[in-house]
């Protein structure tokens, strides 16, 4: 587990007893009631901790490749299309 994940978990565990953190979480979940599993949804503190503990480096690499990886030829097309005439 990475250092940043451990720090986030520590902060979340502290937030379990903080009224302001609990109120903000409840408010956000009420105002934006997306279904569980939707990336726009707000997790409960316990759900967030569980997801952080379950996260793997390979999951992050797959996400990056899916959403930020360039398809073959994308950069070449961009370079050719922006050459001044």
Give, rounded to a whole angstrom, the gap between the first and last alpha carbons of the chain: 51
pLDDT at 39: 83
Q: 57 CB contacts (<8 Å, ≥6 apart)?
A: none
pTM confidence score: 0.65
pLDDT at 82: 55
**Rounded to an integer, what distance in angstroms lies between the CA atom of residue 36 and that of residue 28?**
14
pLDDT per residue as tens, the chain (85 positions) = 778 888 988 999 998 999 999 999 999 999 999 998 888 899 999 999 999 899 888 988 888 888 787 665 555 555 555 555 5
pLDDT at 28: 93
**Rounded to an integer, what distance in angstroms lies between the CA atom of residue 41 and that of residue 32?**
7
């Amino acid at each position: 587990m990475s250092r940043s994940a451990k720090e986030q978990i520590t902060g979340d565990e502290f937030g379990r007893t903080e009224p302001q953190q609990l109120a903000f979480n409840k408010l956000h979940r009420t105002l934006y009631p997306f279904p569980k599993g939707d990336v726009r949804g707000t997790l409960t503190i316990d759900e967030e901790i569980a997801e952080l503990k379950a996260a793997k480096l390979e999951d992050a690499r797959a996400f990056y490749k899916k959403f930020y990886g360039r398809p073959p030829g994308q950069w070449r097309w961009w370079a050719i299309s922006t050459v001044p005439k």
